[in-house]
Amino acid sequence: MNPKDVLKYAADAKAEFVDLRFTDLLGAWHHLTFPIDELTEDSFTAGFGFDASSLRGWAAINESDMLLIPDTSRFWIDQFMDRPTLCIATDVVDPITRESYWLDPRALAKRAESYVKFTGIADTIYFGPEAEFFIFDHVSFHNENHSSGATVDSSEGWWNTGKDANRTGWAIRGKEGYVPCPPLDSIHNIRSEIAAKLKDAGLTVECHHHEVATAGQCEIDFRYSTLLGTADNLMIFKYTVKNVARQFGKSATFMPKPLYGDNGNGMHCHQSLWKDEKPLFAGDGYAGISELARYYIGGILKHAPAIAAFAAPTTNSYKRLVPGFEAPVNLAYSARNRSAAVRIPMFSPSPKAKRLEVRFPDATCNPYLAFSAMLMAGLDGIQNRIDPGEPLDKDIYDLPPEELAEIPSVPGSLDEALAALEVDHAFLLKGDVFSEKLIQRWINYKIDREINVVRMRPHPMEFSLYYDV
């Protein structure tokens, strides 16, 4: 596509405004809106100015002026604006040097894709995430110096069978929410509306269903694309899920662990390398994978603790990643074992369908950073021929303690993941994809603004445990 194509699309859609979308360091979407007449062919090189210093973790006040450069590869009509509005994904550029802003995640993802081609190993990396989420009827939380607490609720919740919130008797028991039919699945129509809106925005939805947890856990799968394309699509996906839920008077969250004692929200990331339109992960080895795919797995497993700092980047992420449950915490690979960090799906014998599924990420991540970190780890595994060892095909729950102790795990906290990233990030610096400055900015922000904030606050459970000591 070129600027003329975008302008024609806007004219055909009778767009009255153009909405410029960009992603901050932590993965939140932001936008600036202009009358459509402000968008010209020159805009795709001149850009639109904005203040980058007012966003979390970004520019200092003395370097606040930045430009948003529209990308002709990704545009659509917003489904939630009252007036016809053209949305365009944008890149952030320094107005003086005209170079990509060093903290722009989208530019980093583009460098990662370029590095794949530079290595000669492959020319394309595909990603396909499965981002789980909850749709709640009600959510409230408060955090003052003398009081704190949180409540979520859903008419589906098993705890409501004796309350006025559920007068029908239909409720989903804990951990029994996987693909039931209505009326147990009370949010089918909401998911279908989300799927229809995603199609209008250019995403291809392949399936939607209720997930395992009670109280409205969902999954909607959309078709894979390139690293950059999928990261853009995930931003559209999260935006659409949240806004459709709001239209139905409900609230959607991708928070990894909003409920105690039931399944959390993960984001299994399917990925595969291709070259000259041929899949590189298919072969005659274990589970039908190639030697190159094994080395890619080796890189993922070796660098998983560091990857987790980007792929499971919140303190809440590690309330989902707890050993002893079905969480994918074991740093091993398997064709069937879903407690392994890397799984090899076996649904299709087609070489084109052969891929790897990294299971410990969640959708609180910045997808541009998380996908790039996984890719760089996998490439490092290929370049250094890192052997992932034997697959974990045993039932993890039946392993004797001495054998289980030999299987390494993902970090147990965000602190541990950031510590791992601090000492293991050379693989991310190849090709100037990541930078030392960006990695350090990420670590410092997470420690100062998240870990320390949670660490210093009394937890309501502590009152139950210790108040009467």
Task: Enumerate the active-site residues.
Answer: 51, 130, 132, 211, 219, 268, 338, 357, 359
Contact 32, 68 (CB under 8 A): yes
What does the alpha-carbon distance between residue 293 and residue 281 come to, in Å, rounded to a whole number?
5
What does the alpha-carbon distance between residue 222 and residue 206 come to, in Å, rounded to a whole number?
5
DSSP string, 426-452: HHHHGGGSS-HHHHHHHHHHHIIIIIH
Residue 130, beta-bridge partner list: 268
Contact 198, 236 (CB under 8 A): yes
Residues found in the chain: 469
Contact 227, 107 (CB under 8 A): no
For residue 205, give the H/E element and its range: strand 205-210
**In which residue are the tokens 């005209």 written?**
98
DSSP string, 273-293: EEETTEESSB-SSGGGB-HHH
CA 21 to each of CA 8, 244, 301: distance values in angstroms, whole numbers, following the listed order: 20, 19, 34
What does the alpha-carbon distance between residue 258 and residue 213 come to, in Å, rounded to a whole number?
11
Q: What's the token pair of residue 311? A: 């792929």
Contact 457, 147 (CB under 8 A): no
Q: What's the token pair of residue 167? A: 């007068």
